[in-house]
Each structure stands twice: as C-alpha cells, then as structure tokens.
C-alpha cells in the first residue's frame, strides 16, 4: 500500500478514532484517498483489514455469514463482519451509499456499546475482540445515493476527505510514475476543470486514479494527447460533443508560469443537465 499524503491532516484524526474503536465514516469524491488512508493507518496500528464493497442487493448474510451445506451436514460460514470482529481487525465497508437499511441494521449492535452481533439462526452472540473497529466510506456525489439513516450516522464519527492540492497531486504523479514534473502539472490542470465546476456530480469529476493511469501511460510511451483521451476523457462521457469540448479544455497548451487553472478563462464549465 502506497504512502498517504496527508495535506488536510486526516491521518492523526483517523488513527485516534480507529485506536479508540470509534466507528467512523469517511466521505469524499471518488479517488481522493479514502481507502489508501484506511490501509495506511491500519498498517501503522498493526491491524489487519477486512474489507467489503457495498451494493444495492447486498444481504445481511453476505455481511455476517450463512449456513452452508456440505457432505458432513450444515455448518456456519462467517462473513467478513464476523471475521473482522473475531480477529480484532479493521472492518472497512466501502461504497455504503446503496446498502439497504435492513442490512445496515445488522451492524447496529456491533457499532454501539454492545460491540456484538448475533447471526440469525445461530443463537450465539459474538463479541468483538479488542482491536476491532468499523470504518465505512461513501461518496456523497455518487449516483444511486441513498441517505444513511440517522441511527446509523449517530453511531459514527465523520471525516471528510478532498482532493489533493495541485502541487501535492503533481508530486504524487511524479513520485509514483516517474513522469516529468511539467507533464504531471498539465495532467492535474486538465482534471481541475472537472472538479471546480459547480453542481457537478461523480460522473463529471476526475479523481487521482485516472491521473495516475494517464501518467503511467505517458511514461510507457503514450503521447499526452493519447493518455488524456484514453484515461481522462474516456472516463467522463460517451457523448461525442462533450468529448470534443473536453478535448479543447484538456489538450490546450501548458499554462504559462503563475497562471493557475482557476485564473484561466477557458476553464470548462460542466452542465450535468447535458449528460445523455
Ligand atoms: N492523499 C493521497 N495520498 C496518496 N495517494 C493518494 C492520495 N489521494 C489519492 N491517492 C491515490 O489515488 C488513488 C485512488 O485512491 P483511493 O483508492 O484511496 O481513493 P478512494 O477515495 O478510496 O476512491 P473511491 O471512492 O473510488 O473508493 C490511489 O492510487 C491512491 O494511492
Ligand atoms: Mg475506496
């Protein structure tokens, strides 16, 4: 797991929450480092991580466990939540937006003073070993978002994440891929227009992940134009007109010294209503 660049000092706060076993929710747009931060803190605390990705059809059995039939009869197979609780691990529940409320309810006793769950039909209550902690993550801009119920939110502390500054993100691209600093800065500038547009949503924002892919492609021999087309514009839209508009903004010549993306008049304004 790569090192986390902690510009907004979320790491010490996350470390304190995780060390205290306080259930925590991380929010922030896609690719802003939520998962990276959790793994970095877990590693510093010497705790294993059990992770799971939420979705709209997830069931309580997928979380807690289920009975399986075998030649020897039936046996209970623990799900990721129980495994994390018994191992004293960090339970990292990503993409919580779409998770149905009845599944969230299964977590309630594990996230309050009881720190325990009773898997259905087992009649056995499993208490969390010391070291267990819950960290959830969701993207407030994500499509298909569903508000988390108050009973769930009020069991958790919140940490809000955001994208790195231009200079930190450029340095990250250089350090991780070996791309030259000027090209790294051009890639980050290209992504800035998508992040600054008002009223934008997840489909229109480029996170650090596609920038890293674009930088890798350039280091591997792709031109700037090819990398932007494949890794940045390609992720944003299938609409040819919007792709043309994005090309105009993202493939403009490098900005002169001292001129930031925010000051550049050609900064592209997105209108989510245009999305087909
Ligand atoms: N602050 C940061 N320090 C180091 N790497 C970062 C940082 N922010 C983003 N990255 C890098 O960007 C990529 C995406 O980060 P990560 O997967 O942690 O984002 P995320 O917020 O969990 O995204 P998602 O919401 O899509 O799950 C990773 O390669 C990660 O290392
Ligand atoms: Mg993540």
Q: What is the pLDDT of residues 84-114, one digit of tens each?
A: 999 999 999 999 988 999 999 999 999 999 9
Q: pLDDT at position 38, please? A: 97
What is the band of 272 on the pLDDT scale with cuts at 50, 70, 90?
very low
Range of lowest pLDDT (76-90, 122-136, 139-153):
139-153
Cβ of 169 less than 6 Å from ligand 1: no
Domain containing 221: what range?
Answer: 166-274
SS3 at position 138: strand
215 CB less than 6 Å from ligand 1?
no
Answer yes or no: is 153 within a domain.
yes
36 CA distance to ligand 2 middle (Å): 7
Q: Does one domain contain both 237 and 126?
A: no
Has residue 1 been placed in a domain? no
Question: Does residue 131's CB lie within 6 angstroms of at least one atom of ligand 1?
Answer: no
For residue 3, being part of any structural domain is answered with: no
Among 54-68, 193-207, 210-224, 234-248, which range has the highest average pLDDT? 210-224
What pLDDT, on a 0 to 100 scale, did the predictor assign at position 51?
Answer: 96
Cβ of 208 less than 6 Å from ligand 1 = yes
Strand 65-70, strand 73-78: pairing: antiparallel
pTM of the model: 0.86
Is residue 257 a contact partner of residue 263, using CB atoms and an 8 Å limit? no
Q: Check: CB of residue 99 under 8 Å from CB of residue 55.
A: yes
Mean pLDDT, the chain, rounded, equals 87
Angstrom distance (rounded) from CA 250 to CA 232: 9
Q: Is residue 4 part of a domain?
A: no
33 lines ligand 1 (CB under 6 A): yes
- For residue 105, the model assigns a pLDDT of 94
Whether residue 171 sits in one domain with residue 156: no
Model confidence band, residue 142 (pLDDT cutoffs 50, 70, 90): low
Q: Starting at the edge strand that comes first in sequence, how are the strands of the sheet with 157-160 ordered?
A: 49-53, 90-94, 133-138, 24-27, 157-160
Please compute, for residue 186, the number of CA atoms within 13 A of its CA located in the half-sphere on the CB side.
20
Averaging pLDDT over each range in 26-30, 41-45, 247-251, 257-261, which range is the top one? 41-45
d(CA 140, CA 67): 35
Quote the pLDDT of residue 36: 96
Above 80 in pLDDT, residue 246?
yes
Q: Say how many Å lie between the CA of residue 117 and the centre of ligand 1.
A: 31
Residues 101 and 132 in one domain: yes
Quick one: pLDDT band at residue 71, thresholds 50, 70, 90?
Answer: confident
Tell whether 145 and 207 lie within a shared domain: no
- Same domain? 197 vs 241: yes
Taking the CA of residue 26 as reference, the ligand 1 atom at the shortest distance is 21
Q: For 176-229, what is each residue's pLDDT tens digit?
A: 999 999 999 999 999 987 887 644 444 568 999 999 999 999 999 999 999 999
Q: Are 262 and 248 in contact (CB under 8 A)?
A: no
How many structural domains comprise the chain? Answer: 2
Of 42-46, 83-87, 232-236, give the lowest mean pLDDT range.
232-236
What pLDDT was estimated at residue 145?
64
Q: Is 164 in the pocket of ligand 1 (CB under 6 A)?
A: yes
Q: How far is the CA of 114 from the centre of ligand 1 (A)?
A: 33
Query: CA 78, 1, 139, 209: dihedral to nearest 10 degrees?
Result: -130
201 and 262 in a single domain? The answer is yes
Question: Which of 6, 25, 29, 35 for mutating ligand 1's site (highest number of atoms within 8 Å of CB)?
Answer: 35
For ligand 1, whether the C-beta of 35 sits within 6 Å is yes
């Amino acid at each position: 797991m790569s090192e986390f660049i902690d510009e907004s000092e979320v790491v010490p706060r996350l470390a304190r929450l995780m060390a205290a076993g306080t259930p925590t929710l991380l929010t922030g747009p896609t690719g802003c480092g939520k998962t990276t931060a959790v793994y970095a803190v877990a590693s510093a605390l010497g705790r294993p991580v059990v992770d799971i990705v939420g979705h709209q059809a997830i069931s309580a059995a997928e979380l807690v466990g289920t009975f399986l039939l075998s030649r020897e009869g039936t046996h209970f197979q623990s799900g990721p939540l129980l495994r994390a609780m018994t191992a004293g691990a960090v339970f990292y529940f990503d993409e919580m937006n779409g998770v149905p409320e009845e599944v969230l309810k299964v977590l309630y006793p594990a996230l309050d003073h009881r720190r325990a769950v009773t898997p259905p039909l087992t009649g056995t209550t499993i208490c969390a070993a010391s070291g267990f902690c819950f960290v959830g993550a969701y993207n407030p801009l994500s499509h298909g978002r569903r508000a988390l119920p108050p009973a769930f939110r009020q069991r958790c502390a919140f940490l809000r994440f955001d994208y790195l500054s231009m200079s930190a993100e450029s340095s990250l691209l250089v350090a991780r891929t070996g791309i030259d600093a000027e090209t790294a800065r051009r890639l980050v500038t290209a992504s800035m227009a998508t992040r600054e547009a008002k009223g934008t949503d997840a489909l229109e924002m480029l996170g650090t992940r596609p920038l890293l892919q674009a930088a890798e492609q350039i280091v591997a021999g792709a031109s700037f134009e090819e990398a932007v087309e494949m890794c940045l514009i390609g992720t944003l839209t299938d609409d040819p007109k919007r792709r043309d508009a994005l090309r105009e903004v993202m493939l403009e010549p490098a900005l002169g010294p001292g001129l930031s993306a925010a000051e550049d008049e050609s900064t592209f304004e997105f209108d989510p209503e245009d999305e087909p």
